Amino acid sequence: SQTIHQWPATLVQPVGSPLSLECTVEGTSNPNLYWYRQAAGRGLQLLFYSIGIDQISSEVPQNLSASRPQDRQFILSSKKLLLSDSGFYLCAWSVQLGVYYEQYFGPGTRLTVT
Amino acid sequence: LAKTTQPISMDSYEGQEVNITCSHNNIATNDYITWYQQFPSQGPRFIIQGYKTKVTNEVASLFIPADRKSSTLSLPRVSLSDTAVYYCLVGASGGSYIPTFGRGTSLIVHP
């Protein structure tokens, strides 16, 4: 069965510090991968999605970046964090089943920028 | 991408049936409808998906009228553990799948 991992689970970082969040998927190949952010009490905001290695699309211009160095690895980074970067970061993957897609989410990383 | 509109919040009581309606007036021919459930501090979890008419699984039912401009998620006999945020999404089956989440419906089930 497929499994998605995210780490760390929680993170407290000062403003201006760098960020690296990692997501890996097991049990599938060539998945579509996604990074979402959820601010407190809000819906999910799609940040990046990737259909393959080194193929990344950004949905929201900001100080975050994403990379996909391997088929099942997706990394979210920042060189200098802002207070507004605080939130719950979720990695997800999707697979096409017939005519439908199903999307599965990781456990998330709670980031607090102080 | 088709935009969806859902009630912001709903309240219910244990044992009742809950129906959450989502409007998607500009749904495209090849779009299908998916519902997710999210508990606090967890990622959304797939509940049910459909294209037209009615779909039922062990968790819920999804009703889609012929014009497909809306859909209704039906949760039979809810319990306290069904308290969560429910999201309705529409997305195309071809090409890249880029699901966009709205604010969802916060369902609170009372004892």
Show pLDDT as tens, one digit a residue, over chain B (111 residues): 558 999 999 999 999 999 999 999 988 888 889 999 999 889 999 999 999 999 999 999 999 999 999 999 999 999 999 999 999 998 765 556 777 788 899 999 999
Beta bridge pairs of residue B55? B62
By C-alpha distance, the chain A residue nearest B97 is A101
Closest in A51, A88, A104 to B96, CB measured: A51
- Residues A56/A46, Cβ–Cβ less than 8 Å: no
Instruction: Indicate yes or no: CB of B49 within 8 angstroms of CB of A102.
Output: yes
Q: Which residues of chain B neighbour A101 with C-beta distances below 8 Å?
A: 91, 93, 97, 99
